[in-house]
Amino acid sequence: MLRPFIDAHVHLNTATEAKLILAQKYDAYFVSINTDIPFFISLNEQEKLIHELNTVENRSFFITSFDIEYWNTEMWLPHALEQIKQGVARGAKGVKIWKNIGMDQRVKDQDGNFVLLDDPRFDPIFQYLSDHNILLINHQAEPRNCWLPLEEMTVDSDRDYFSEHPEYHMFKNPDYPSYETHMAARDHVLERFPNLKYVGLHLFSMEYDLDEVSKRLDRFPNSKTDLAERICHVQLQAMHDWQKVHDFFITYQDRIIYGTDVIDDGSMTAEETAAKFERLWNFHWEFFATNSLMQAPEFKGSFKGLNLPEDVLKKLFYTNAVKTYNLELPK
């Protein structure tokens, strides 16, 4: 494993120290992405935890966000902008927008229509971020599998999740915006704000086809992407077209960021969380750094590791995160 390296997409929402001990062992650093998720602790509490963890072991950075309090009132925009300004002033490395924009019943206009990312009321936020050179990190919609019937989904992890949570399975919720509508709204924003520094999280939510990710990276030169919770989709494509996947990482080696999306929220013990980090780090490193014949728990079949060059691995696991999130770390 590369030393040091950065897991640039996590959610550290407990003060437990086992993960910090593990990070010290691996010389790993975290970028914890604060998110307005109903079952998470509040945004303020998420940020306070990062500062608290750093008093124990200084290995965590954070991304700030804003919530939907005061939505559909004149108070919402000043409130959201103030949350952004305060987060950045306290050290946030960017601002997160979550999938609730476009997928949450509470975020509708006054006529009852879902509000999407390109709704004009978000424009002052995008303009502020662009004017102040602040990075936008965006989880747009869900994997395309979310809009497919269970039998057509490509990986078991999605199939299992949406069979257990049909309320989030968009195939069964046709009154919600379509997958294509979400992608178009995101692209529309990037067209209108070309100077906006942007990370399309989860492979732009276009994980099913790296060709589609490539099109966005080509079309929007200020954009980057991360791999969080979508590496199994990359591995599936490597099973069918190894060269295409390998070439993607070579071509876009300066614009792809490693992350696991591990959620540390107390649902697992501290030791279980640390063990999950360690298992994923080593499994992912084997895939990107070696030519081993591998299998993944999310689908049937074998695939070969990408065996990426050392300089590409360093960018993927370290340098790209340092540059994108402006992290003060060893070079």
Q: With a cut of 80, say whether residue 127 has pLDDT above it.
A: yes
Burial letters 83-99, b for 16+ CB under 10 A, else e = bbeebbeeebbbbbbbb
Mean pLDDT, range 311-315, rounded to an integer: 98
Flag whether pLDDT at 105 surpasses 70: yes
Here the CATH number for the domain that contains residue 48 is 3.20.20.140
Position 269 in a domain: yes
**Cα separation, 260 vs 242, whole angstroms:** 22
Mean pLDDT throughout 15-23?
98
Residue 268 maps to a domain? yes
Distance (Å, rounded) from C-alpha 206 to C-alpha 233? 10
Per-residue model confidence as pLDDT tens digits over 140-156: 999 999 999 999 999 99
User: pTM of this prediction?
Assistant: 0.97
What is the share, in percent, of the chain residues with pLDDT greater than 70? 99
Angle at which helix 18-26 crosses helix 270-289, to 10 degrees, equals 30
Q: Is 331 a member of any domain?
A: no
pLDDT attached to residue 165: 85
* Average pLDDT of every residue of the chain: 97
- The residues, ordered by sequence, that sit 6+ positions from 275 with a Cβ below 8 Å of its Cβ are none
Whether the per-residue pLDDT at 32 is higher than 60: the answer is yes
Q: Does residue 229 sit within a domain?
A: yes
Structural domain for 191, as ranges: 5-142+178-282+311-325
Task: Flag whether pLDDT at 331 surpasses 80.
Answer: no
Q: Cα separation of 152 and 24, whole Å?
A: 42
- Per DSSP, the three-state class of 185 is helix
Spatial separation of the C-alpha atoms in residues 162 and 164, rounded to whole Å: 5
> What amino acid is encoded at 92 in this protein?
A
pLDDT of residue 276: 98
Alpha carbon distance 50, 195 (integer Å): 29
Q: Are 102 and 68 in contact (CB under 8 A)?
A: no
| 159-202 per-position pLDDT tens digit | 998 998 888 899 999 999 999 999 999 999 999 999 999 999 99
**Any idea of the CA torsion for 255, 322, 82, 44, to the nearest 10 degrees?**
110
pLDDT in tens, 246-272: 999 999 999 999 999 999 999 999 999
Rounded to whole angstroms, how far apart are CA atoms 224 and 256? 6
Report yes or no on 166 lying in a domain. no
pLDDT of 35: 96
Q: Is residue 88 part of a domain?
A: yes
Task: Please enumerate in sequence order all residues whose Cβ is within 8 A of that of 300, keeping only pairs 6 or more positions apart, or say none.
Answer: none
Q: For residue 4, is the peptide bond before it cis, meaning its omega torsion is within 30 degrees of 0?
A: yes
Amino acid letter, 238:
A
Phi, psi of 298 (to 5 degrees): -85, -15
- The CA distance from 131 to 220, in Å, is 17
**pLDDT band, very low/low/confident/very high, at 18 (cuts 50, 70, 90):** very high
Q: Is the pLDDT of residue 329 over 90?
A: no
Q: How many CA atoms, within 13 angstroms, populate the side-chain half-sphere of residue 119?
A: 16
Give the per-residue pLDDT at 330.
Answer: 63
Tens digit of each residue's pLDDT (9 = 90 or more) over 64-94: 999 999 999 999 999 999 999 999 999 999 9
Number of folded domains in the chain?
1
What pLDDT does residue 161 have? Answer: 87
Q: What is the pLDDT of residue 207?
A: 98
Is 154 contained in some domain? no
Asked if the structure places residue 232 within a domain, the reply is: yes
Helix (H, G, I), strand (E, B) or coil at 206: coil
Report how many helices (DSSP H) and strands (DSSP E) the chain contains, helices first: 14, 11
Q: Checking DSSP bridges between strand 302-304 and strand 293-295, what pairing results, if any?
A: antiparallel
Other CB atoms within 10 A of residue 114 CB: 18
